[in-house]
Chain A
Amino acid sequence: MTASLASLFITPIMFSRLAGLLMLLPLCLAVSVVYKTIKIEDLRKVPAAVVASWFTIVGGMLAIGVSIYALYYLCA
């Protein structure tokens, strides 16, 4: 059990391009959790705020990505 857990950290994980992009989602979740946990006094309100914040970050990044792609496409 300990050895298999240790091997998880020894061998790197290879990602496809799409899977690599999807790794953005848990990172955004971590940022949302930490930010909302320190920002909101009442911890019962944190989960809802985290979900809203996560959607805002991911949606915002998608919108920026699509806009830049569209701009690139128009200029090319």
Chain B
Amino acid sequence: MTRTPRKSAPAAIRLPLIAVLAWAVPGAGHLAIGQRSRGVILLITIALTFWTGVAVGGVKNTVNPHERTLWFLGQVCAGVHPFLAMAWGSGFEVPEDALRSDYIAYGQSEEIAVVYTAIAGMLNLLVILDVLGRAEKMAYAQPHATAAGGGRL
């Protein structure tokens, strides 16, 4: 049975698309180019690292672009995760009679939380560069990668 080649998007469109996808959902870039196992490993590892940080520091204050702008630059590389955490944290109201430390980490816990989330972002930056390299290689080696079952984009 022969497979009809589907026309893939030109590299000038495909590569930025893959980059945006890889940034938005860590590991999704690899899934999009057909490297499923690698994509799933990266997706789980980066999400787990980021949300471990949020669990340590609490969702209310771990991602805080106003108080920790430079750390936020690292965190934001993790795609949708920091925005989900921010949305959750801003939508969550601390009860008036509650202790501040019950919802906002300080000291060592705060440091661990911020480092975990920022490193998850930095790791995703590596993943984005890797998927772009792979996608570019595939584009040169196989102009119609999707026709050969390479991937969707």
* A interface with B by C-beta (< 8 Å): 8-15, 17, 20, 23, 26-27, 30-31, 33-35, 37-38, 43, 46
Contact = CB atoms under 8 A, between A and B. Distances in A.
20 contacts: A11-B102, A11-B103, A12-B101, A12-B103, A12-B110, A13-B56, A13-B109, A14-B105, A15-B112, A20-B109, A23-B56, A26-B52, A27-B49, A30-B48, A30-B49, A30-B123, A31-B123, A33-B45, A34-B45, A37-B45
B145 interface: no
Contacts of B105: 12-14
A12 B58 contact: yes
B58 A38 contact: no
A9 B115 contact: no
B119 interface: yes
A37 B112 contact: no
Interface in B78-98: 88, 92
**Chain A interface mostly helix, strand, loop or mixed?**
helix
Nearest to A44: B37
B41 A33 contact: yes
A9 B119 contact: no
Contacts of B120: 30
A3 to B, nearest CB: 13
Contacts of A15: 56, 108-109, 112
Given A10-B92, A37-B38, A23 B123 contact: no
A13 B123 CA distance: 24
Contacts of B110: 12
Most buried by A among B46, B56, B102: B56
Contacts of A9: 51, 54-55, 58-59, 88
Contacts of B42: 34, 37-38
